[in-house]
Structure 1
Amino acid sequence: MPPKAPRNFLGLVLIAPALAVVVLLFLIPLCEAVLGAFRTDAGFGLENVSKTYALYSRDIAFTFVIIALSALLIALISVLFSGYLTLGTNARAVALLRWLYRWPLFVPFIVVGQILRTFLAKNGLMNNLIVSTGAVSPMDTIGFLDWRGVVIAFVWKQVPFVTLLLAGAMASLDRGTIEAARNLGASRIRLLLEIVLPQVASTLMVALTLSVVTMMSVLSVPLMLNPHSPTMITVNMAFRINAYGDYGVANVLGLVSFAITGLVAWIYLRATLKENIR
């Protein structure tokens, strides 16, 4: 048996690249952001925090609402899609849905923003199609280049990702339990909500946590679809740096973003620990 010290050294060598990435790209920037948020011309204080609250409190609340609403819609639509992919009886419909739902995965967010900017505008493709049917007149059309467009973009982009993870988890479940419940007369919606979904809840939480982190980091979509106030804090961060070189307020906004994603991660970890204790 090789000595213990060389084995430990080999393990450290193997994890060194990953550890270096975490330290250089996450820990050091996080520490610098924390220090920068409280650093002022006179030393350290709460000047940047008070300025951020005065200027961007509405935008922070707006960001929280948009992310929460988008996550809720993503969860609902993904559960329905995954449930039909797992429990659906129409083979052609299942195959068509399986082929279609993945496409947004390959579209970058900046392209999503540009597509929806053209599609959701007052004179965009969506309204032109509706006008061509005679349902409304050109004067009655409305645009969705506001918070609704941001929600639509986030949901359209993230539903395939969550569905992919959730459908895979559902496909790995024991079919015997599902078939037994179906033989006892359970409907598909009851099968989904009472038997299938509880068994894949942890996967859904992981997918939603990753989606929230992704949505919190996107700049292009709110910048293209909702540039006016209130807007998301990613736009505010870019504006403070590019227009004023104000890294203090930008760092405070970054800490707020970190707090929102940390809250979601804490909810996930708390639910996971409860499940493991059981």
Structure 2
Amino acid sequence: MATTSPAFTAGKTQTPSRGGLIGLLLVAAPVLIVGWLILYPIIIAILSTLHVEDGDKAAWTVKSYRFFFSDPYSLASLRITLWTTAVCAVLLIITGFPIALYLRFAKTRLAGYVQGLAIFPMFVPSIILGFALIRTIGPNGAVDILLHAAGLPKLPSPYLTPWGPVIGLVWDNIPLTVLMLTSGLARISDASIEAARDVGAGPLRVFVHIILPRMGNSIMVASAFAILGIFSSFTFPYLLGPATPEMMGPLMLRTFNELYDPLAAKTQAVVSFGFCLVFGLFYIYSMAKNREAGKR
């Protein structure tokens, strides 16, 4: 029976440990930076809302959270933020999926122009887009001027209504959504689609039974990224949204700058972080599920 020499065995066992040490050294710096710039401020913010000075003493209390969840205005702001996030996420999937399908299966030159238009909002700063939308959909904007020139009645403007931020946020997040969905569609092989067509499956059946079941992970990832970005957005809710109730981003700024209440502002930030953490867990679960499926 053949035996393995001790030197060879030692070489095999030492190489992975050396590679693992090098890998840990490579990721040490990014992990420390993330811990210093992200995790540490989050922990400090949470502790500062729980350990509050009361006169000359400091005590552990949840008074600021009780106030937030009992204050009608704070709850209205939280509700409008959740509503805007949910509506934008649904609209992004509804608008982004057809574009991604077209880019995946179209073989014409027109597909290149469509892709360029879909990605174009990524290169437009949010502040510029916000003011452009004000001049377009706002009172006496371009839409009103065109309707008046055509002899048509004016339409109610979504500017300074809950639908104003929805328009801006959907426009701003379309590029990332389309890119993620297109990436997911690219992993679906042409062979599986052609095999379904060979046995008589039509476009709708191919979409329902071949494409859609394999896009669940990509849809979840795209939705998670969109939700995290929309929930914490500030520019579009501030420029296009109503004065009351306002989304959590403008609410935090006004509470800190105008009401001079940093404790309430930090409490609002912690509550927002809690909701974003829940959505982030969906993304982590999706990535872990995708990695496990890849090993199989």
Could you tell me how far apart the structure 2 residues matched to 1:3 and 1:80 are?
Answer: 49
Counterpart for residue 78 of structure 2: 60
Counterpart for residue 141 of structure 1: 155
Deviations 1:146-190 (A, max 9, x none): 211111111111112111121122123210111222344434344
Are 1:72 and 2:87 an aligned pair?
no
Deviations 1:30-75 (A, max 9, x none): 1011112223332231221122231401110110111011011111
Task: Give me the TM-score of the superposition, normalised by structure 2.
Answer: 0.83
Deviation at 1:92, TM superposition (A): 4.6
Deviation at 1:122, TM superposition (A): 2.1
Amino acid at match of 2:117: L
Higher RCO (C-alpha under 8 Å, 6+ residues apart): 1
Could you tell me how far apart the structure 2 residues matched to 1:255 and 1:12 are?
Answer: 31
Equivalent of residue 194 in structure 1, options 179, 200, 209: 209
Are 1:50 and 2:62 an aligned pair?
no
Amino acid at match of 2:62: L
Range moving further from structure 2, 98-107 or 45-54: 45-54
Equivalent of residue 252 in structure 1, options 259, 264, 267: 267
| Structure 1 unpaired stretches of 5+ | none
Deviation at 1:256, TM superposition (A): 1.8
Structure 1 vs Structure 2 CA RMSD:
2.5
- The question of whether the paired residues in 1 share the 8 Å contact of 2:46 and 2:270 is answered with yes
Range moving further from structure 2, 17-26 or 256-265: 256-265
Matched ranges for 1:22-171 at <5 A: 22-42=34-54, 43-53=59-69, 54=71, 55-88=73-106, 91-134=108-151, 136-137=152-153, 140-145=154-159, 146-171=161-186
Deviation at 1:249, TM superposition (A): 1.2
Higher Cα radius of gyration: 2
Deviation at 1:9, TM superposition (A): 5.0
- The question of whether the paired residues in 1 share the 8 Å contact of 2:228 and 2:280 is answered with no
Could you tell me how far apart the structure 2 residues matched to 1:7 and 1:174 are?
Answer: 35
Range moving further from structure 2, 234-243 or 80-89: 80-89
| Structure 2 unpaired stretches of 5+ | 1-10
Counterpart for residue 221 of structure 1: 236
Task: Give me the TM-score of the superposition, normalised by structure 1.
Answer: 0.88
Percent of aligned pairs with the same residue?
Answer: 25
Equivalent residues, number = 274
Are 1:267 and 2:285 an aligned pair?
no
Counterpart for residue 7 of structure 2: none
Counterpart for residue 16 of structure 1: 28
